[in-house]
């Protein structure tokens, strides 16, 4: 197998990066099943640790990630996806990237603008 | 505390990204001590899971990472460092990025060129 899923209890970190701009969008987790479905469908599928099941990114919001490229690191235990983020925002809080806050003088400062209003997208 | 180290056994994933080019260089792990030393010294310090101790990146090779920016994700359980990679290569195999291989037709293909020869840098 090309990816070392035997490490770390079968869950590996997967980074999603905007294929065009290089922005790091998010980090989530993959088990073997999520990885294989991602490779097969060319859409990002993660494993949700909180819900303990496969998480087909965008299944609720429609903001799927179209996978352009899949890279592995030197230890084959971290996955890097270069993606086209449909809808322009990867974060459930409505930002393009989940990394929308910066640490500055011991405080977190928001450094991005919302792409969508989470209340409109996730009708709960 | 700004970062949620209580999750996942105290070890959080930390992504290092080239501050200039946006290339994702590597993913490593941080415990609270590694994170605090990184914030204080502005040099990337990780926690090595294999050696079970702090890993001051570059302590052996000289290829330290000067931290330009520290971002947190929406769940405050993943760290993104924007760094200046001294020596031009983050990977112990001599590549700029640890993600030097791409998955293509069920095979890993090297998509980068070596910046240095690991045998010269890590004299063992």
Per-residue pLDDT tens over the stretch A55-101 = 999 998 889 999 999 999 999 999 999 999 999 999 999 999 999 99
What digits encode the pLDDT tens for the residues B56-80? 999 988 899 999 999 999 999 999 9
Name chain B contacts of A27, Cβ cutoff 8 Å: 13, 15, 73, 78
Among candidates B2, B73, B108 on the partner chain, residue whose Cβ is nearest the Cβ of A27: B73
Q: What is the pTM of this model?
A: 0.95
Name chain A contacts of B107, Cβ cutoff 8 Å: 2
For residue A121, the model assigns a pLDDT of: 74
* B112 touches A: beta carbon within 8 Å: no
Choose among A15, A23, A2, A14: nearest CA to A96. Answer: A23
Q: What is the DSSP string of B15-60?
A: EEEETTT--EEEEEEE-HHHHHHHHHHSB-EEEETTTTEEEETTTT
Q: What is the mean pLDDT of chain B?
A: 94
CB contact under 8 A, A2 and B108: yes
For residue A120, the model assigns a pLDDT of: 81
Interface probe for A, chosen from B80, B90, B106, B111 (most Cβ of A below 10 Å), is B80
**pLDDT above 70 (res A123):** no
Interface probe for A, chosen from B103, B115, B122 (most Cβ of A below 10 Å), is B103
> In Å, how far are A50, A96, B70, B73, B96 from B90, measured between CA atoms?
32, 27, 17, 22, 5
């Amino acid at each position: 197998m090309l990816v070392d899923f035997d490490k770390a209890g079968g869950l590996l970190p997967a980074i999603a990066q905007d294929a065009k701009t290089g922005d790091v969008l998010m980090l989530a987790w993959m088990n073997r099943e999520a990885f294989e479905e991602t490779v097969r469908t060319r859409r990002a599928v993660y494993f949700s640790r909180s819900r303990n099941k496969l998480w087909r990114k965008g299944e609720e919001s429609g903001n799927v990630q179209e996978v352009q490229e899949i890279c592995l690191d030197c230890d084959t235990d971290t996955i890097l996806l270069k993606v086209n983020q449909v809808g322009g925002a990867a974060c459930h809080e409505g930002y393009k990237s989940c990394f929308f806050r910066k640490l500055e003088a011991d405080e977190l400062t928001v450094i991005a603008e919302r792409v969508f209003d989470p209340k409109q997208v996730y009708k709960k």
